[in-house]
Structures are given as C-alpha cells and as structure tokens.
C-alpha cells in the first residue's frame, strides 16, 4: 500500500502539538497503550511509537463476542513485526461475572476491569501514563451522552486530555488523539498500512453510545455541517470554565467545610447550611470522592446527602464502599473498612479475654469485699457473680435491646443510652452488650444493669473489664 507521507506527518503533528499544549507526556516517556485492535487504538499505538515514546501495548480480552481472539492476534502480530518489536501483554477478564457480582452493565463492568488491569500493568512497568485512543468524535458523543443523562458542568466538559488513573493515581490517563476525528484516524491508518479490526458492538443500538453514534450524531452532522468539531469545542470551553472558576471556588469552600480524619472524612455543618443548594450538592460530591472514591456520583445522591444536613443525629445514607452519618456538628463519611463487623453471640468463659469490636472483654473473679469495690476506670465495673451466672455471652447490640440502668427503676433502650452519652453514630454500631441467660448485664464500656449490681449480701464478686482498642 502506498504511504501518504504528508497525511501521516499532518496527523502526527496534530498529536504532537496536542501533547505539548497539554503537557501530556515527557519526551521519550514510557506509555502503556490500551490496544483493542480498532483503528483508534492502533493509530494511538503506532503514532506514539513514531513520535519516539517507549510504547507498550496492552490488550484485554473479555470473551464477550466472536472475533475477540482475532482482535488480540492482530495487535500481537503488529507488535511482533515492528523493529524493534513493541512489548505486548494480553489479559483475559470475565466482564459477565463482574457485572453480575456488582449489579453493573456489561459495558461498565468491562470498563472497570480494563482500567484496573491497565493500572496494574502500568505500575509494574513504572510507566508514566496509560494512553487511550479516544478522539474528537468520541468527545462529541460523550457530550451528548452526558447531556441527556442530566449532568452538570463537569459532565459537559467531556473527556479530559489528562487525568490521574483512578486505580493508580501516580499514573496519568492521557488521550492524545482528542484533536483528530475518526475520519482522520482511518485515513492515517489506511495511508500507513496500519491494520485494524472493527468491533460491530460499537454501533449496536443496544447501547446508549451506539444509538448516539449510529443515529443521532449522523443526523446532526447532516443538518449542521461539521457538527462534531463545534461540539468538541463546546466541551473544551466548558472545561476551561470548570478549571479556571468552578474548581478553584470548590477547593476554597472545601478548605473550610471538609476535614480528613483517620476514620473517614468529616463535613462541618455550618458551611453547608450557609451554602446555596447548588454548592451544598457540589460540596457533598467532592467529599464523597475524597472519602469514598468507589461510591457513585449523581445529582440524586448529592440531593439525598444534602438532606442529611437538616436530618436527625444518627441518620445515614449507605453507598457503595461505605456510609455517610449525620452526627452532632457534621457529617461523617465512613468507609466500610472502618466500620466494625457485627459480633454474633459469643460465649464468655471466666477469666478469658474475648475480642470484641471495642477491644478486649474479660470477666474475672475478685476476692475484695463489696465495701472496697471502686471502679478502676470507666471501663471497669463490678457485678454480683452469682446473679451474672455461668452462661455469659457477648454480642453487638441491636434495635429493640433494653436493659435496666444501674440506679433506675425502669428499663431503657440501649439506643437511647448511647444517644444520651453522645456516642457518635458511627461508633454505636460497634458497641457490645454482655448478657446473662435472661437479660443484658452490661452495655460494655457504658452502663451496668441494676439487677447484677453488688449488694451488701453479695458473696461472690466479678470484675468486668473492657480494654479499649487503640485508635488508629
């Protein structure tokens, strides 16, 4: 095939200028290229190689359609034929299994698997960036897709030329082909003899992007000549506004509203209450991204989180990866990893340490008489061993649990006690109760039950000890 040198040079110049304008890559940088075998990814791979970058091809096979093996073979064969050969790596991922496990669409599952695998490979290679073949037409499609889904300015900004890779923030995700169109790419591929394969699912009407690509954009382009280019330009203009005005203002507000803490993020109530609704929602989503990065972001979720500002203490919103709790003075963004697992009923033998979410529990006999039994700390209490009995167990408290607090006539809900003692909502879930065979004997670390108190006629005394867990 005849090579059109001017066309190839013009295409490469456009990419090189874009890389320079946005500082996407340092000269000669090592880059992992997501190479599906389509024209755009192959042009990205070949173009970056021609520009002198240390490219490594990476292919993901999802096994979702016939021809997937041929896609992999094409990329592998092209890499092997270069001089020197381009390093090539292929992995198989089960998108169907992930979609079922995480209640995702196949497209979303495949995307998550792809970027996670790319991040792992780039990190192993110590690569500066991961490059994809997204181009100007993809940008126009993304703008329309986000628009019909009801996005804000960040969505209308479209795809960025560069951003940190979510699964490996030290690695950049770069899109060097954004200044060129799909026609430019295919012309370049044809002119340079670059092989590629067409994925028929890219134009499938079963997917939203396929509908936009196949039916909507062609009609727009037919009526508005060159519509894709001005749409991409609109995305760029919105992105400039977001970067120069919106994001700096958001950072300034977050500096006073948000606080990173060992057990998740914290949002102060006052800045939220004085903020306009639009800023309140943006602050919530920004805190969500910082504290719980795996949680989805949406206008609906932002509105629900904003409602926590005026909600009762103890209310929470659960999201993927954690929960947001309404507490006194603020909102706590708590990852699942920081929340203790519920403790099932566990036997408590005498003089044996038992691990519980709060620390270590121990029940031990003592010899001292009842007249000298002073608590050594708030986490140590004394009880009548005979009234405790031998069948002690410990578990996490549950809704509906009641006990008789020491010194009171009637019973009280455990939840009410924890509220009165101002135990933070996220910490209440880890509070345990020590139980006899008939009732709660101790809300561990908080209050003894009146029925097991030490009395003048007590013959045998037990010391109940909580050794609190050290805070991270």
The count of C-alpha atoms lying within 13 angstroms of the C-alpha of 451, restricted to the half-sphere facing its C-beta, is: 16
pLDDT at 472: 44
Cα 350 to its chain centre, rounded Å, is 44
The yes-or-no verdict on residue 6 having pLDDT over 60 is: no
pLDDT at 374: 59
Query: Where are any strands of DSSP class E within 53-187?
Result: 54-61, 88-92, 129-131, 162-165, 168-174
pTM reported for the whole predicted model: 0.69
- Contact, 74 vs 50, CB < 8 A? no
Residue 8 has pLDDT above 80, yes or no: no
What pLDDT sits at residue 102? 78
The class level of CATH for 5-223 reads alpha beta
In angstroms, what CA-CA distances link 50 with 12, 19, 47?
A: 8, 14, 5
**Most trustworthy range by pLDDT among 41-50, 155-164, 297-306:** 41-50
Is 12 within 8 Å of 180 (Cβ atoms)? Answer: no
pLDDT at position 136 is: 94
Residue 286's pLDDT band (boundaries 50, 70, 90)?
A: very high
Q: What is the pLDDT of residue 337?
A: 73
Q: Show Cβ contacts of residue 73 under 8 Å, excluding neighbours closer than 6 positions.
A: none
Residue 426 pLDDT grade (very low, low, confident, very high; cuts 50, 70, 90): confident
SS (H, E, C) 217-253: HHHHHHHCCCCHHHHHHHHHHHHHHHHHHHHHHHHHH
**In this predicted structure, what is the pLDDT of residue 68?**
80
**pLDDT tens track for 194-223:** 999 987 777 677 778 888 888 888 888 888
Q: What is the pLDDT of residue 168?
A: 87
Residue 80 pLDDT exceeds 70: yes
Specify the fold of 234-338.
3.30.465
* DSSP β-ladder status, 129-131 and 30-34: parallel
Average pLDDT over residues 260-285: 90
Q: What is the pLDDT of residue 1?
A: 36
pLDDT > 80? residue 333: yes
As a whole number of angstroms, the distance between CA 244 and CA 421 comes to 46
Tokens of 242: 């977001």
Is the pLDDT assigned to residue 300 strictly greater than 60?
A: yes
Q: Per mean pLDDT, which range of 13-17, 141-145, 468-472 is the poorest?
A: 468-472
3-7, 13-17, 63-67: least confident range: 3-7
Residue 311 structure tokens:
């909600």
Share of the chain above pLDDT 90, in %: 59
State yes or no: pLDDT of 75 exceeds 80.
Answer: yes
| Mean pLDDT calculated for residue range 116-123 | 95
Q: Say whether pLDDT at 313 is over 90.
A: no
User: What pLDDT is attached to residue 369?
Assistant: 56
- For residue 90, pLDDT over 70 is answered with yes
Residue boundaries of the structural domains of the chain: 5-223, 234-338, 346-468
pLDDT digits (tens, 9 = 90+) for 142-186: 999 988 888 888 889 999 999 999 888 899 999 999 999 999 999
Helix (H, G, I), strand (E, B) or coil at 274: helix
CATH of segment(s) 346-468: 3.50.40.10
- 93-108: per-residue pLDDT in tens? 888 888 888 788 888 8
- At 320 the pLDDT is 82
Percent of the chain with pLDDT over 70: 95
Task: Give the span between the Cα atoms of 155 and 142, in whole angstroms.
Answer: 8
| pLDDT of res. 270 | 93
Residue 191 is predicted with a pLDDT of 92
Question: Which is nearest to 450 in space by CA: 392, 405, 416, 417?
Answer: 405
Note the pLDDT tens digit of each residue in 446-466.
Answer: 999 999 999 999 999 999 999
**Tokens standing for residue 316:** 């929470």
Residue 383's contacts (CB-CB under 8 Å, 6 or more residues apart) are 441, 442, 448, 452, 453, 454, 461, 462, 464
Q: Phi/psi zone of residue 146: left (φ > 0), alpha (ψ -120 to 50 degrees), beta?
A: alpha
Indicate if the pLDDT at residue 471 is higher than 80: no
Per-residue model confidence as pLDDT tens digits over 352-392: 999 998 899 999 998 765 555 555 567 899 999 999 998 99
* 5-223 and 346-468 in the same fold: no
SS (H, E, C) the chain: CCCCHHHHHHHHHHHHHHHHHCCCCCCCCEEEEECCCCHHHHHHHHHHHHCCCEEEEEEEECCCCCCHHHHHHHHHHHHHHCCCCCCEEEEECCHHHHHHHHCCCHHHHHHHHHHHHHHHHHHHHCCCEEECCCCHHHHHHHHHHHHHCCCCHHHHCCCCCEEEECCEEEEEEECCCCCCCHHHHHHHHHHCCCCCCCCHHHHCCCCHHHHHHHHHHHHHHHHCCCCHHHHHHHHHHHHHHHHHHHHHHHHHHHHHHEEEECCEEEEEHHHHHHCCHHHHHHHHHHHHHHHCCCCCCCHHHHHHHHHHHHCCCCCEEEECCEEEEEECCEEEEEEHHHCCCCCCCEECCCCCCEEECCEEEEEEEECCCHHHCCCCCCCEEEEEHHHHCCCCEEEECCCCCEECECCCCCCEEHHHHHHHCCCCHHHHCCCEEEECCCCEEEECCCEEEHHHCCCCCCCCEEEEEEEECCCC
CA dist 118 and 95 (Å) reads: 15
**Residue 315 pLDDT greater than 70, yes or no:** yes
């Amino acid at each position: 095939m005849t090579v059109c040198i001017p066309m190839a040079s013009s295409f490469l110049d456009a990419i090189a200028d874009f890389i320079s304008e946005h500082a996407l890559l340092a000269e000669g940088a090592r880059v992992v290229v997501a190479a599906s075998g389509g024209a755009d990814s192959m042009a990205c791979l070949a173009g970056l190689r021609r520009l002198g970058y240390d490219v490594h091809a990476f292919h993901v096979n999802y096994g979702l359609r016939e021809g997937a093996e041929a896609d992999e073979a094409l990329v592998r064969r092209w890499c092997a034929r270069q001089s020197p050969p381009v390093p090539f790596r292929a992995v198989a991922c089960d998108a169907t299994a992930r979609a079922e496990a995480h209640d995702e669409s196949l497209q979303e599952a495949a995307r998550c698997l792809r970027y996670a695998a790319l991040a792992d490979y780039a990190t192993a290679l110590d690569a500066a960036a991961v490059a994809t073949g997204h181009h100007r037409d993809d940008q126009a499609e993304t703008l329309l897709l986000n628009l019909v889904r009801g996005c804000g300015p960040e969505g209308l900004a479209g795809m960025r030329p560069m951003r940190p890779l979510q699964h490996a923030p030290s690695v950049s995700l770069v899109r060097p082909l954004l200044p060129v169109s799909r026609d430019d790419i295919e012309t370049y591929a044809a002119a340079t003899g670059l092989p590629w394969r067409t994925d028929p699912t890219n134009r499938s009407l079963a997917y939203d992007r396929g509908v936009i690509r196949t039916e909507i954009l062609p009609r727009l382009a037919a009526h508005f000549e060159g519509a894709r280019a001005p749409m991409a330009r609109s995305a760029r203009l919105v992105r400039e506004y977001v970067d120069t005005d919106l994001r700096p203002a958001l950072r300034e507000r977050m500096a006073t509203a948000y606080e990173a803490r060992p057990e998740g993020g914290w949002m102060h109530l006052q800045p939220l209450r004085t903020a306009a609704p639009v800023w309140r929602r943006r602050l919530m989503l920004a805190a969500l991204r910082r504290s719980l990065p795996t949680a989805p972001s949406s206008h609906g979720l932002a509105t629900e989180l904003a409602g926590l500002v005026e909600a009762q203490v103890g209310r929470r919103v659960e999201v993927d990866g954690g929960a947001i709790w309404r507490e006194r003075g603020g909102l706590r963004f708590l990852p699942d990893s920081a929340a203790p697992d519920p403790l099932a009923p566990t036997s408590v033998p005498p003089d044996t340490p038992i691990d519980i979410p709060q620390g270590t529990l121990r029940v031990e006999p003592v010899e001292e008489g009842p007249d000298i039994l002073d608590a050594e700390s708030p986490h140590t209490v004394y009880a009548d061993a005979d009234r405790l009995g031998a069948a002690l167990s410990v578990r996490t408290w549950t809704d509906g649990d009641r006990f008789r607090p020491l010194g009171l006539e009637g019973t009280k809900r455990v939840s009410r006690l924890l509220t009165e003692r101002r135990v933070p909502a996220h910490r209440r879930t880890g509070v345990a109760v020590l139980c006899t065979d008939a009732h709660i004997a101790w809300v561990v670390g908080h209050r003894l039950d009146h029925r097991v108190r030490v009395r003048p006629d007590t013959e045998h005394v037990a010391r109940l000890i909580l050794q609190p867990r050290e805070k991270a």
